[in-house]
A and B are shown apart, each in its own frame.
Chain A
Amino acid sequence: MTVIEKRTPMIIQDADERIHNFSEVALGYDEESALKEAHRCLHCVNHPCISGCPVNIRIPDFIEKIKNGEFEEAYKIISESSSLPAICGRVCPQEKQCEANCTLGIRYEPVAIGRLERFVADLHNRNDSNNTIKREFNDHSVAIVGSGPSGLACAGDLIRKGYKVTIFEALHTPGGVLVYGIPEFRLPKEIVKKEIDNLQRMGVEIRTDIVIGKTLTIDELCEMGFEAVFVGSGAGLPRFMNIPGESLKGVYSANEFLTRTNLMKAYKEDSDTPIMKGGVVTVVGGGNVAMDAARTALRLNAEKVYIVYRRSENELPARKEEIEHAKEEGVEFKLLNNPVEIIGCSDTEDPGYGFVKGIKCVKMELGEADESGRRSPVEIPGSEYIIDTDTVIMAIGNTPNPLIRNSTEGLETNKMGGLIINEDGMTSKEGVFAGGDAVTGAATVISAMGAGKKAVEGIDKYLRNR
């Protein structure tokens, strides 16, 4: 058998073209490419890819089905483990998970597992009949707080086990970060909607416009007859740097900038939601959210977009593909740079009074390795300079939302505000489980899904033993 060293390329929209639209960048595999890529899998004995997957999808088995042209069978294998395959195929950092462990990847490029997953899920969704799926329910009801990735994964697994499931969502549209955070060009909202529709067809009830901790409390959910509650409320609060000028007009948190664009559809010409478009945009941070914000700004007609990050290229936490796409699209990376002040127009006669004019940065160098083994950045004295900019977007992470911990007695949190859970996913309050960013602080879609699934085992065990 000859080994194909390189992975099968995926068709992507040309960079010059895609910066003018919000359509999806990567267009996925066709059948021929999928078959070709599936044949690269060595079906090695140890299948290390599975242990690299936070939800342990039986990867070699579904790839085997693709090889045989049994695509629907492949879908069934994936959906045993994952409730949201079309989403994960697109947004998982595969190069750090399944693909990082691929045996083929030791010498050559690893099998493009994520692309194959996406191919199978998209094909299934295209051919799906949209019928209601009849299901027998047991007598137990579970409430889920938040309809982001952890809540959806939890709901999907619970309903498969026969539980009645109701999701409570604070916003007007379900999906959480998949809807307000990740942009259309990376994860089309139609796909999110389709995955949520699938859950609803299985019998999951979703109630929007209800803020748990405000409209209803966790204790009230229990009084209403829910025997267990899963809290997947996410990492809500945006962080700022606490440097001068962060309240100037034109400074956004990435959450705000992306919410305005994605959830509130400010990218559409006739949208009711305003957003600053065009000009020079500087994004602070190096994660996926920073890449999303930078590439969104480009699509909103920015003349120039910078990413300012205090460490070097090697430490950029974003998915590799997103960094590559951002570079192709013309985003300029100011690595080893750290903002120290945002400068605004102080001339009261100027129509731009109170708006951002520039961002003062200091150059950094990597110093001694810290406890985590990463070399920490240190300022180079006297290296300050100013980038002229009209908009600044802070993409430096979030902290867990306090609404639930402040309104629920007996919920213990760690010093970061994350809910503390045991090995079954249960919090310090009996019957209340939690997972995702509400526990860990900002992380990835797939790790949140993994946490949602893990809690299902705990919930199942808890309700069986009651």
Chain B
Amino acid sequence: MYLIEDKKRLNPTVTQMDIVAPLIAKKARPGQFIILRVDEEGERIPLTIAGCDPLKGTVKIIFQIVGSTTLKLDKKEKGEYIEDFVGPLGVATETNNIKKVCIIGGGVGCAIALPIAEEFHRLNAEVTTIIGFRNKDLVILEDEFRNCSDRMILMTDDGSYGEKGNVTVPLKEMLEKGEMPDRIFAIGPLVMMKFTTLTAKPFNVPVTVSMNPIMIDGTGMCGCCRLTLDQDGKKIIKFACIDGPDFNGYEVDFDEVMSRNRMYDEFERHAYEKTCNLFKQEV
């Protein structure tokens, strides 16, 4: 059982929790993830680590309420426990030989982008961050990003805060002006990562994307999180849990991952409705 030491609502659908897990807090590197189960009958879901405090022994997770499990997790309060919390899983983000970096976060993906931006800031790289949200109410971690960025651009789809438009607009402008980062990191919705990759392609800037497919065990055993990479025309199967979650954006078949992630849409819609009803009844 793992104690929820702190809980904070970042926006109406995004919650932050600090979980007591000293072994994980000691080991976790930016880009790695954990797998949790809320209760004894729960499913296993992966969440990327949003930060950790090795001295306090806590691991920060930030999640959006998208279905039954995240809704149940959100109902847990500070001082309560979650059943299982395993990690740190996956390979840490590669930071070697990068002096100038552009980090792009979309929506709740910003939670994962932040520790990567902070790590590059700590390593004295020149950090540009572009973070995008649907509207002003959904903006998270603005101050945190500002603190670790040499330049920060905030975008909203409707222009209600920051600049109007999606994250690829300032990226394209930047690249067209000849401001070439050594590498771009894109973390957020699949469609955002896909279009970031397409935007960067004509400029030949390397793009790393953080993949978040459906997972069960997170140790390579089930093969559920597999994705197809195109390496010089050769199709190669990789497992996001042990080979990723970071991949070369130019190699990933995004359409395939998008399709696979929708495999259980119907089931999840029912489960979500059921859980909503359950909590309404209890209130």
Contacts and interface: CB of A to CB of B under 8 A. Distances in A.
Interface of A: 170-172, 180, 208-211, 214-216, 234, 236-238, 240, 242, 246-247, 249-250, 252-253, 255-256, 259-260, 264-265, 271-274, 353-354, 401-403
Contacts of A214: 27, 87-89, 219
B258 to A, nearest CB: 9
A247 B43 contact: no
Q: Is the interface of A mostly helix, strand, loop or mixed?
A: loop
A237 B220 contact: yes
Interface string B218-241: 111111101110000001010100
A10 B233 CA distance: 56
B63 to A, nearest CB: 16
Contact of B219 (A170, A252, A353): A170
Contacts of A234: 221
Interface of B: 23-24, 27, 37, 41-44, 68-69, 83-89, 216-224, 226-228, 235, 237, 239, 242, 253, 256, 259-260, 262-264, 267-268, 271
A165 to B, nearest CB: 20
24 contacts: A172-B37, A180-B221, A208-B84, A211-B86, A215-B24, A215-B88, A234-B221, A236-B220, A238-B222, A240-B226, A240-B237, A242-B235, A242-B237, A253-B223, A253-B224, A255-B223, A256-B216, A256-B222, A256-B224, A273-B43, A274-B264, A274-B268, A274-B271, A402-B220
B43 A211 contact: no
A358 to B, nearest CB: 17
Nearest to A250: B263
A401 B87 contact: no
Contact of B41 (A250, A256, A265): A265
A238 B225 CA distance: 12
Contacts of A216: 23
A253 B215 CA distance: 13
Contacts of A171: 217
A259 B263 contact: no
From B42, B216, B262, residue with most partner A Cβ within 10 Å: B216
A40 B218 CA distance: 49
Nearest to B271: A272
Contacts of B235: 242
Contact of B89 (A211, A259, A354): A211
B237 A259 contact: no
A158 to B, nearest CB: 24
B223 A256 contact: yes
Given A215-B87, A264-B43, A354-B259, A240 B220 contact: no
A224 to B, nearest CB: 11
B220 A401 contact: yes
B265 to A, nearest CB: 10
Contact of B226 (A208, A211, A247, A260): A247
Given A172-B84, A259-B216, A238 B264 contact: no
A237 B223 contact: yes
B83 A172 contact: yes
Contacts of A354: 259-260, 262
A6 B271 CA distance: 52
B227 A247 contact: yes
Contact of B23 (A210, A247, A250, A274): A210
Given A215-B23, A247-B227, A353-B259, 18 more contacts: A172-B44, A209-B86, A211-B86, A214-B27, A216-B23, A234-B221, A236-B221, A238-B223, A240-B237, A247-B226, A247-B237, A249-B262, A250-B263, A256-B223, A256-B224, A272-B41, A272-B271, A274-B268
A35 B41 CA distance: 42
B220 A272 contact: no
A401 B221 contact: yes
B219 A403 contact: yes
Complex A-B, nearest 3 residue pairs according to Cβ-Cβ distance, in ascending order: A274-B267, A253-B223, A354-B259
B221 A237 contact: yes
A242 B37 CA distance: 32
